[in-house]
Structure 1
Amino acid sequence: MSLQLPVSTVSMQLTTLLTTIEIAATIAFAMSGLIEATRKKMDIVGVFSVTFVSAFAGGTARDVLLDRRPFFWVENTEYIWLVIAMVLAAPLMLRSRKLGLTDKVMEVADALGLGLFTISGVSVALVAGMPLVVALMLGSITAVFGGVTRDVLCNEIPKVYRDHQPYTLCTLIGGLLFIGLNHFGVSPHLSSLAGICCISGLRLLAVAYGWQIPSWPRDA
């Protein structure tokens, strides 16, 4: 028998929270895509394509696997206009604020998107009545897929596969924390905040201190 959380713990009161998390995640990953595409000196079509895919690929993969229609960005067309506005405002923003397109800016945006989209994916899966292990996996897929497609479009080996630093592992740890807190009756707002901070914090610490996951098998 599959172990599931009571849907009541993540149901009605999560609607507004999920929307807020989804918007923040979309902005964070859109920013990471925008920065990466600008660093690659793409034209406006390329910048928009990479930004759009970075923002929406993870959530779209989640919705496809859950057979959820319409897709979240189709249901909320404001997200599309938000991405368009970010792309069009990029030259003005970069010129006026002299924002350095550095690896640090990229890592922060990526880490925030990672935490936000993981909790979004886990929450939507739980509301849909998925078993815990499925919800955890969908949270990781939602968080990781946008970054993978961004790197592929930018002609890079996806970061999640190449640098041996914890990435997907961070989403699994934070997702488990979120599920555990919900299971023990912690409010969705507090458990979501804890999960997001755990995932984003772990990822930033991994980058800052160069944490490495050993290759598998070890003697390969």
Structure 2
Amino acid sequence: MEVIGVLSFAVAGVVDARKQRFDAVGTFVVAFATAFGGGTVRDVLLDRRPFYWVEHEGYVILIFAMSIGASVVFRVVSRVASERTMLVADAIGLGLFAVTGTSLALVAQMPAFVAVMMGIISSVFGGVVRDVLCNEMPMILRDRVPYATCAFAGCWVYLGLTWLDAQQEAALLAGALTTTATRLVSVWRGWRLPG
């Protein structure tokens, strides 16, 4: 699940960096921050060492390679993936990082609400850092279409199933699907949070 989430966010970071005409170094920084920003903040807050991207060096190497070949990656993604496809990839990443962050917080014996907040930080903070690096107002602050709210809902579904002693994989999948589906439906239906 984590691999899919990392790749989804890394590709989104590469695409945003290329739109800003960043060089390979800038592209790597943006893609790295997008893919690992939320998880790193979560690991710092939970005092987890080593960070998950240090444990899984292959993720970093993959993002490095994507950044070196960013122009090729951007052309392929632009040709193959429409804006809608990128939205789906981002929603999948949101769902996967939300539940895995919550799960890790529970393992660290955090209270339920704090665990949910850790899930939200895991899933949205990388995008905040990406937007800041690209000199944009973070999407989570400017877009009234539910985003963190969807992660919040999915984390509680995961927690509820955990409390009911559901199988861990089923609870993770249900929470991730809830987040992803809620995000996609909210965009499709044009739902807005009250101002």
Output the TM-score relative to the length of structure 1.
0.83
User: Is the Cα contact below 8 Å between 1:119 and 1:139 reproduced in 2?
Assistant: yes
Q: Which has the larger radius of gyration?
A: 1
Q: Map 1:194-209; keep pairs closer than 5 Å.
A: 194-209=174-189
- Secondary structure in 2 aligned to 1:99? helix
Q: Map 1:1-220; keep pairs closer than 5 Å.
A: 21-95=1-75, 99=79, 102-215=82-195
Instruction: Report how many residues are paired.
Output: 195
Q: Is the helix fraction higher in 1 or 2? A: 2
Tell me how far 1:94 sits from its aligned partner. 4.6
- Residue identity in the other structure for 1:83: I
> Which structure 1 segments of 5+ residues have no match?
1-20, 216-220
Post-superposition, which runs of at least 4 consecutive aligned residues in structure 1 deviate over 6 A?
none
User: Is the Cα contact below 8 Å between 2:18 and 2:71 reproduced in 1?
Assistant: no
> Which structure 2 segments of 5+ residues have no match?
none
CA RMSD, aligned part only?
A: 1.7
Tell me how far 1:100 sits from its aligned partner. 5.5
Tell me how far 1:152 sits from its aligned partner. 1.0
- Secondary structure in 2 aligned to 1:139? helix
Tell me how far 1:76 sits from its aligned partner. 1.7
Tell me how far 1:88 sits from its aligned partner. 3.2
Tell me how far 1:211 sits from its aligned partner. 0.6
- Secondary structure in 1 aligned to 2:33? helix
Output the TM-score relative to the length of structure 2.
0.93
- CA displacement 1:132-158 (0-9 Å, x = unmatched): 111011000111101111111111111
How far apart are the structure 1 equivalents of 2:78 and 2:114? Answer: 43
Q: Kindly, what percent of the aligned residue pairs are identical?
A: 45
